[in-house]
Structure 1
Amino acid sequence: MSDHQIRQIVLSTDNLDDSIAFYESLGFALKFRDGTHYAALDGGAVTIALATPVDHPLPGKVVVGIKTEDVDAAAAAVEADGGAIVKAPYDDAHERRAVVYDNQGNGLVFYKSLPR
């Protein structure tokens, strides 16, 4: 069994307030919000993430967020299998992540929470 888990879908927005209102009207509850740039809504097993270009890994594209135990190995495997690394593995304030395209140009973000 793979250690990869699809945990979120990241959607682009230019107006976070309007996007949150839209998805809340469809019955998705707001889990948290980070200022005017990012929000997460409860989609059950998969989070619906809304991000402006400031926080979106590939603005204008739908991106699949995949939680994994080894971000570096996942990014290397994508590249070895014909995909491309957009942003090599790096640490931000909360997690290690890598932004990649699969072999068909679809956006993926591999991530793992950093110890607190």
Structure 2
Amino acid sequence: MKIGHIIVPAGDLDAQLAFYSALGLTTKFRDGDRYAALTDGAVTIGLADASQQPVPGQVVLTVQVDDLDALLVDRPEIPVEVGPHERRAVLTDPAGNPVVLYERLPS
């Protein structure tokens, strides 16, 4: 298990890239105006437009896990979504903050 990245809603990707770059973060990649990833070398921040936000309008912590099914065995009510690169489930912590657990799909 490891912290995957923190997803931050982005209305104006260019402006947010400029802001976080000025703080010293390095752009890892950019996918048009939909998504960009920045890092300090340890943590990745994903700037996401509405189409790329797992919980619209909220900052989301993502955690990569080895076995998503094992972690959700006692929570069958939580749906698992399958994307092109991962399987994921959205949970909330006790304070109501969204957390995405995800398992990479084999390439």
Q: What TM-score does the superposition give when structure 1 sets the normalisation length? A: 0.82
Following superposition, the deviation at residue 58 of structure 1 comes to: 0.9
Letter paired with 1:26:
L
Write the deviation string for residues 47-104 of structure 1: whole angstroms up to 9, x where unpaired.
0111111101112211111010112333455x49xxx84xx21221111111121222
Aligned alpha-carbon RMSD (Å): 1.8
Q: Following superposition, which runs of at least 4 residues in structure 1 exceed 3 angstroms of deviation?
A: none
Q: CA deviation at 1:43?
A: 2.6
Instruction: Give the TM-score of the pair, scaled to structure 2.
Output: 0.88
In the alignment, structure 1 segments of 5+ residues that lack a partner are none
Q: Does 1:6 align with 2:38?
A: no
Which residue type is aligned with residue 50 of structure 1? L
Provide structure 2 residue ranges, at least 5 long, that are not aligned to the other structure.
Answer: none
For 1:97-108, what aligned pairs fall within 5 Å after superposition? 97-108=88-99
Which of 18, 21, 26 is the matching residue for 1:21? Answer: 18
| Aligned counterparts of 2:73 and 2:98: Cα–Cα separation in 1 | 15
Query: CA contact under 8 A between 1:11 and 1:51: conserved in structure 2?
Result: yes
Shift of 1:114: 0.9
What residue identity is the alignment partner of 1:95? E
Percent identity over the alignment is 44
Whole-Å separation in 2 of the counterparts to 1:112 and 1:103: 22
